[in-house]
Amino acid sequence: MASRLLFLARHGEQEETGTEAPEVGLSARGRRQATLLGERLRGARLDAVHHGPLARTAETAALVAKELPGVPVHEDGRAGDHMPHDTDPTGLPARYAAFLAEFTKAERRDGPRVTAEAVARFATAPPRATSGSWWSPTTSWSPGWSGTRWRRRSAAGSGSTTPTAR
């Protein structure tokens, strides 16, 4: 049976601007974190890096991929922040209730659909097994959190736990 294993990595530390605006990029420390992640993944034989629409996720993905020669980078909105289901804030700690209040009615309505699309794209088992194994990174879709996630898919019955050559 084919499967996918997801590894999560949050985007690098963002610049300290006092805002969570989409255009906020990485701090010097965040750029170093992303570079080190790319160095660590160098032997993983990744096929692509996918990230959400925020500037800090794009910057993280580009710095990771810079350490992975020939690995393309792709933006995918399904990998960005969204609300997977509408939650009643009653009884939640004030900090969480305030976070949920930041989502618009449209985001609350569309969140479950976007989540389902993200799961179908990034987290479901492939429709049919292929020979060997391959690695491909994707990006987080958890609310309030963007990052990069790597997945591994191995062929049914291959028993392989090590990536094979592309």
Query: What structural domains does the chain harbor?
Result: 3-151 (3.40.50)
Question: Exposed, middle or buried, 70 (CB in 10 Å: 0-12/13-18/19+)?
Answer: exposed
Say what the pLDDT of residue 44 is.
80
What Cα–Cα distance (Å) separates residue 6 from each residue in 89, 96, 102, 117, 157? 29, 26, 28, 16, 19
pTM for this predicted structure: 0.67
Check: CB of residue 100 under 8 Å from CB of residue 91.
no
Task: With a cut of 90, say whether residue 143 has pLDDT above it.
Answer: no
Mean pLDDT over the full length of the chain: 75
What Cα–Cα distance (Å) separates residue 7 from each residue in 52, 146, 162? 16, 13, 15
Over the Cα atoms of the chain, what is R_g? 17
Task: With a cut of 80, say whether residue 106 has pLDDT above it.
Answer: yes
Say what the pLDDT of residue 130 is.
46
Average pLDDT of the residues in 85-114: 91
How many CB atoms are located within 10 Å of the residue 95 CB?
7
Q: Give the span between the Cα atoms of 148 and 58, in whole angstroms.
A: 10
**Which residue did the predictor score with more confidence, 132 or 144?**
132
Q: Which amino acid appears at position 96 of this protein?
A: Y
Residues 30-51: tens digit of each pLDDT? 999 999 999 999 888 777 788 8
